[in-house]
Amino acid sequence: MSTRIRAVEAFATSFPLPQGGPTLGIGRAVKRDAVMVKVTTDDGIVGWGESHHGRAHTAIAALVNTTLRGLIMRMDATDVVGISARIYKYQLASHGMGAACAMAMSGIDMALWDIRAKAAGWPLYRMLGGASRRVPAYAGGVALGYQPPAALIDEARPLIDAGYRAVKLRVGDNARDDIARMEAVRTAFGEDLAILTDANTGYDLPTARAVMPAMEALAIGWLEEPFPAHDFRRYRELKLCGRTPLAAGENHFTRFEFAPVLEAGDITILQPDLSKCGGITEALRIASMAGAQKLPIHPHSSMTGVNQAASIHFLCAIDNAGYFEADVSRANLFRDALGSLPWTIGKDGCVAPNETPGIGVEVDEQFLSAHPPIEGPGYV
C-alpha cells in the first residue's frame, strides 16, 4: 500500500440566497460559500476536507491549489504532523498569509485524517483515540437571528420539539432588542433550555456592558464574540462587568494565537473551528492546551456537512469536549446536498459520530460542478 499524495485539489463553491438569509452582527447573508479539498493517494484513497471560505473562497482555493499543494506533493498522507510542520515552516511562519494559510491548510489536514481513517478501516473518532458516544448539540448555526420575539419563538419551537435542549441566539443588534429576544425565549421555554448568545463582533463596549446584567439574570450560558478576536483590552474590561462567560475562538488561528487567549484568562469558552484553526491536528493541540486549564472546547462549525461530521468525531476523542454546534439554517445545500447525511439530532438533544470509515461523508463532485463560485461578499 502506498499512501503518498498523488493529487491535491480545492474547489470553491457557492449558492445564492435569493430571498436573503439571516441578519447577524456582520450583516444580512446573500449567499453561502465553501471550499472543499480533495486529496488522493497513490493507492486511490480519497480524503475530503473543508477549508473555511473566509469570505474569499476563490483565494483560499487558489492558495491550496498552488503554494500549499506544491509543498506537500509526494509526502506520505498519513504524516499529518510532518505535513503540518512543513506548511508552517515554509509558509505560515516564514512568509505569512496568516489566517488564509491556516484556513487553507485546515482543509488539507482534514482530508488527510479522512485518508488515515479510511486506510485503517476505522471511523475517524477511533483513529483519533476516542470512542463512539452521544454528544450534546445546540441549535444555532447561521440561524435564530434578528427578528421580533414572537417570530423568534416560532423559529425555536420546532427545533426544541426535534430534541435540542440548547439554542444560540444572535445578538449584536442593540441592547433593548437583544434583551427583549432573550427574555422572550426564556419565558416561552423555561429554565431547562440552555440559551447561548453570539454577537458576531457586533457590540461596542458600552452596549455589551448594558446587556450583561440581563444575561446574568436570564442565566445565559455564554456571550460569544462581542468584539473582534484581537481586541484583548475590551474582553478584559467586559470580563469585569458580569459573570456570563465570554466565548471566542472561531477567528483565532493555530495554537500560537490560542496561547495568549489562555494566558489572559478572560475567554473561558473556547471555539476553534476545524476548518479554520489549522485542521484537526492543530485542534487536538489546542484542546490539550485548554485541557491543562480545565477549560472546555465547543468547536465552531463551518459551512458543510464534512466539517460538521468531523467536529463530532473530534468531540468524541477529547476529554474536555463541550457542545456540537448544529447548523440548523434553512435549505443549506452544503449540509443537505453536497454529500451524504452528516448527522441527525436525537430526542435526547445529542448527535453521534458516523460509523463508516473516515469522516463518513462522501462528497458529490457533480454538486461542485453544478455550483461554481459566486464572487463578492457573502453579507451586505
Query: Of 284, 281, 277, 274, nearest to 304 (Cα)?
Result: 274
Topology adopted by domain 126-351: TIM Barrel (3.20.20)
| Segment 43-55 mean pLDDT | 97
Mean pLDDT of the chain: 95
Q: Which CATH architecture has domain 5-121+365-370?
A: 2-Layer Sandwich (3.30)
| Segment 92-107 mean pLDDT | 91
pLDDT at 277: 98
pTM over 0.85: yes
Residue-range domain boundaries for the chain: 5-121+365-370, 126-351
pLDDT at 1: 72
Give the end-to-end CA distance of the chain in Å, rounded to a whole number: 49
The burial of 244, by beta-carbon neighbours within 10 Å (0-12 exposed, 13-18 middle, 19 or more buried), is given as buried
Residue-wise pLDDT tens digits, 121-147: 999 999 999 999 999 999 987 668 788
Say if residues 86 and 70 touch (Cβ distance below 8 Å): no
126-351 has the same fold as 5-121+365-370: no
Higher-pLDDT residue of 2 and 181 is 181
